[in-house]
Structure 1
Amino acid sequence: MLTPRTTPLALLAVAVLLSSGCAPSTGGAVQATAPAAVPAASQDAAFDLDKLIAAAKAEGSVTVYDSSGDIEDVAKAFTAKYGITMEGVKSDSPETAEKMTREHAADNVTIDATMFEDGGVLMGQLIPQNIVHTWIPGDLKADIPEANQNPLLALSKATIFAYNTVLSPGGCPVKNIWDLTEPEWKGKLVMQDPLGKPTVLSFLTQLDAHGNPGLEQAYQARYGKPLETKEKSAAYEWIKRLAANEPVLTGSDEDISGAVGPAATKDVKIGFMSISKFRNNEEKGYKQAACTGMRPFTGFSYPKYVALATKSKHPNAAKLYAHFIMTEEGVKHEIAEGGVSGNSTVKPLVTPEGLNDWGADLFHTDSAKLLGDFQNRQVVSDFWRVNHG
């Protein structure tokens, strides 16, 4: 199913521009302005979990927005553990950002915390404008790598290249990321539209920020000669060629899985989809597997950060939620189908078939480059739009 060119990101652009008093511009992505300084993460001087639980119970409830429906299972577990009513609401990052921006401006906050995938908007907009803030549980700080602390990385998921094992019993028919730019794969890659999916757009900006060496090496391996391009970088050259090769754009990973995975499918396609959709192998009898060994990576990991609303009416319950999601007991509901906790002591539960090494097989988001994501997304969005036609 094709998605319209005006995407939910446009809604966030309106919210951003309203907050700055500017008129909205055209286009489907946020107009990046010079971001304000990002404050340091906060933590309680003397953390006491029992006191926090008591204070949270006195507040009585907490509401958390998340881009995944898994938040409903997290909410049930949180409520069962603490006796505090938690509402988990599934909402895409652009809509969540818009709602939190408007609520903050109106002093009418209903969202206490968010599990937020769009790190660029988080670090370039929501945190600098004090709409949300990062809080680190004091008793878990030593278990959270410093690079994961601001913003607070709750977990990482992944989007990977996948194929149908019935149609390609010898393994993934695509061995190199540059293969997808060749004529034989025209119209055969199914992926989410970057203009409507912040994690895919962030992947493209991050690819230019620190993925060019890998792309250049993969090109050399594929064609036996160095890449020559008039574009800014290898990343831009790959983006241009991929977009021009007419990938099928969808609005959901479920649509991608449905196009690639069914056993009765006759047309060979490659899906660029969330690892969560590998559950369709068991639930629907699909025949999906990761493109193991694909150069220079099988896919990319994307972070999900936990941030607390600055004007929350349930600040202690929000903190308790942040503590809960940074433990195995809380995060297991989010990573049950694949993923890695931001807490180094929590071990991965499962990886999809064909994804053998989370660290080596994936291209990873660099949290230090999230502001670059925010500043460069309009350029990358326009570049994609022009070349996809």
Structure 2
Amino acid sequence: MNYVKLGALGLLMATSAQAQTAAELLEAAKAEPPMTAYAVTGKIVDTAEAFSAKYGLKVTGKKVNEAGQIELLIREAQANNVVGGVSLAADPSTVTAQLIPEGIVESWLPPEVADQLPASARDPLVVVSDPTVWAYNAEAYDACPISNVWQLTDPEWKARIAMMDPLEKPGYADWFNQLEENHDAEMAAAYQAHYGKAFDSSQGSATEAWVKAFAGNGVLIADSSGVADAIGAAGQEKPFFGMTSVAKFRDNADKGSKLAICAGVAPFSGWLYPGIGVIAKGTASPNTAKLFISYLMTAEGIAPQSADGKLPSDPRVGLPADEASGIAADLGQLMVWNNAGAQSDLDRRQDWQDIWRMSLR
């Protein structure tokens, strides 16, 4: 990871500005009611408890999936009864292209990290990015059994691939759109590398052709735990190959699983999914919400999630050395999400879901 070095005076100035900002927020937050923070991970419960103990405020963490968070944020705003003051890692396309423009939520950039984040992570604020990777069973294979995504459309892998359902997990449909809009040339190059001939563009995009062929090859659809078990459970003679969040690699220690990252796949070994942090505009605890967002941007505040491989946007924080998947070594092989494409991702989501639905066998 890259770390920004400050001189003694610069460090003192940055620390003073951060302390002053936190002190002002804390003082104002003391007069505010308790607040709930929504996130897709259960780790938000521990984070909220640690935050409450640190600042003497009352924040409750609640695990809610992406679609559930969107529904809660909209309904609470419509009812003028906002419970969730902070939302973390809800559906980023809907948050960016719908909820922010409609004034349901807002993005707030903590001043102490403004100069440290890449421009793409500032508006809206990306707190972490979740690496989603191609994975294999290291007990059954000495090395990753594929090197090109087009292999997964061949008969050899028929009914031997596991993945979450793009109809239930829209981030996967958005991933297809991100590939087509930003990396279709790489998908076509991977086709040529695998089949020894140029992709015939008269049939549409290479990405669409791959999605159709991939879905038609008997993909096993399961929830996150089911996918991870199908790939990594020990004792399998012929385990599934598939795609999963690196957070599931904790199963290697907890359940004796054998998950391993499939590095060196053309065109990508996976993708980084943005976890956007926003504040509900109607919250009665806006200062508490800002302080909580600031806390999430620190190594202490994000530790429960970075331990699962979720990559903090602030490069000074990084991943812990003992993170289970070892994704830090392969970050350069992951597709980086283009947050500017949120509107297109949302507009075309149904199209990609329809393609998936009609192609799935």
User: Retained in 2: the 8 A contact 1:292–1:354?
Assistant: no
Code of the aligned partner of 1:50: A
Give secondary structure in 2 for the equivalent of 1:322: helix
Q: CA RMSD in A?
A: 1.5
Instruction: Please tell me whether residue 73 in structure 1 is matched to residue 27 in structure 2.
Output: no
The reply on whether 1:120 has 2:93 as its aligned counterpart is yes
Helix, strand or coil: the match of 2:115?
helix
Shift of 1:359: 3.5
Does residue 282 (structure 1) correspond to residue 220 (structure 2)? The answer is no
1:30 maps to none
Runs of 4+ in 1 over 6 A off after TM superposition: none
**TM-score (normalised: structure 2):** 0.91
| C-alpha contact (below 8 Å) 2:73/2:104 kept by paired residues | yes
Report the counterpart of residue 376 of structure 1 in structure 2.
Answer: 348
Give the superposition deviation at 1:361. Answer: 1.2
The change in CA–CA distance for 1:115 and 1:105 in structure 2 (over 3 A counts) is same
Q: Which amino acid aligns with 1:200?
A: Y
Q: Is the 8 A contact 2:107 2:278 kept in 1?
A: yes
In the alignment, which residue of structure 2 is the partner of 1:59? 32
Unaligned runs of 5+ in 1: 1-46
CA distance in 2, matches of 1:354, 1:137: 29
Distance in 2 (alpha carbons) for counterparts of 1:186 and 1:230 = 26
- Are 1:178 and 2:154 counterparts? no
Aligned to 1:137: 110
| TM-aligned CA distance change 1:156 to 1:78, over 3 Å | same
Q: Secondary structure at the match of 1:203?
A: helix
CA distance in 2, matches of 1:196, 1:382: 12
Structure 1 distance, partners of 2:320, 2:170, is 26
C-alpha distance after superposition, 1:305-325 (max 9, x if no partner): 000000001111111111111
Q: Distance in 1 between matches of 2:218 and 2:353?
A: 16
Does structure 2 conserve the Cα–Cα contact (< 8 Å) formed by 1:117 and 1:198?
Answer: no
Aligned residues: 341
Match for 1:246: what amino acid? G
Mapping of residues 181-196 of structure 1, within 5 Å? 181-196=153-168
Deviation of 1:352 after TM superposition, in Å, equals 4.8
C-alpha distance in 2, partners of 1:151/1:358? 26
Query: Are 1:94 and 2:53 matched, yes or no?
Result: no
Q: What residue identity is the alignment partner of 1:203? A: W
CA shift for structure 1 position 258: 1.1
Partner Cα distance (1:357, 1:237) in 2 = 31
Shift of 1:198: 2.3
The answer to whether the aligner puts 1:234 opposite 2:206 as a matched pair is yes
What aligned pairs does 1:340-359 form with structure 2 within 5 A after superposition? 340-350=311-321, 352-353=324-325, 355=327, 357-359=329-331
Q: Secondary structure at the match of 1:296?
A: coil
Superposition map of 1:202-217 within 5 A: 202-217=174-189
Report % sequence identity. 34
Alignment check: 8 A CA contact 2:131 2:311 kept: no
- TM-score, structure 1 length as denominator? 0.84
Matches within 5 A, 1:191-340: 191-250=163-222, 252-340=223-311
- Alignment gaps of 5+ in structure 2: 1-19
Cα offsets for 1:199-245 (capped at 9, x unmatched): 21221111111121211121121111111144431111111111111
